Structure 1
Amino acid sequence: MIIIGGNGLTDGLMAELESTLAHHELLKIKIAFGEREDRSGIIQNILQQTGALLVQSIGKTCVIFRQKAQDSAFSDLPKK
């Protein structure tokens, strides 16, 4: 889970989001400030910058998904 505080979407936070999405496809984010409209704007900004999809948004928490890129190391494995 990533928590977004009063500083909002900083470059460091966006780098952490990218890193986490590259490793885990599903990510839970808690936005610990702002009104509903503010949180909605932050979520839309995250989705635009990361290319992720919104799975669910309830209150101050949202879940986003971005499919991992095909890993070339495993692309040569035989399929069952």
Structure 2
Amino acid sequence: MIGGEGLTRPVLAEIDRSLASHDLIKIRVFGDDRESRIAMYETICEDLDAAPIQHIGKLLVVWRPGPAVLKENRPQELGRLAPRGGAAPRTVTVKKPSAAPNRRPKRSQVTVLGNERVTAGGNVKRARVRPTSQKKKALD
């Protein structure tokens, strides 16, 4: 939110942090002057290298590509392939709540294979096989 003080350096820094973590954000501007909102919108986009998406009333929507989008467009380093999500064994940190309410949750490192998933309770299960439809079975 941009308050009565307007677009200050701390507000601009907070918008930058939000864009770094979320890519697409909404910014609410308090104030009735439409020209000042447009000026703030342009300033945010220019200073933070962001793209203006939408401006409806007092709501501004801004987008900036995050590190995941930028990594895909980067050439592969040292001729190695980029890791694909879910295909190779990966190590996951699981937090399970303690039996006593005043104790910290237990953390453990679990290795998850490509055909496994981690449940909401922190257990490792095999991934479910997707059922094929009767129409697709008839085509084969």
Matches within 5 A, 1:12-51: 12-51=10-49
Give the counterpart of 2:9 among 4, 7, 11. 11
Structure 1 Cα separation of the partners of residues 20 and 84 of structure 2 = 24
Runs of 5+ consecutive residues of structure 2 not aligned to the other structure: 72-80, 88-140
1:25-56 Cα offsets, whole Å, 9 max, x none, are 10000110141111100100000111111111
Matches within 5 A, 1:46-57: 46-57=44-55
**Residue type of the partner of 1:5?**
G
Runs of 5+ consecutive residues of structure 1 not aligned to the other structure: none
- Structure 1 counterpart of 2:137: none
TM-score w.r.t. the length of structure 1 is: 0.83
Q: Higher RCO, 1 or 2 (CA under 8 Å, sep at least 6)?
A: 1
Q: Which runs of 4+ in 1 moved over 4 A?
A: none
**Residue type of the partner of 1:13?**
V
**Residue type of the partner of 1:59?**
G
1:45-73 Cα offsets, whole Å, 9 max, x none, are 000111111111000101010001235xx
- Structure 2 counterpart of 1:78: 84
How far the C-alpha of 1:78 sits from its partner, in A, is 3.5
More helix by share: 1
Q: How many residues align?
A: 76
TM-score w.r.t. the length of structure 2 is: 0.49
Question: Bigger radius of gyration, 1 or 2?
Answer: 2
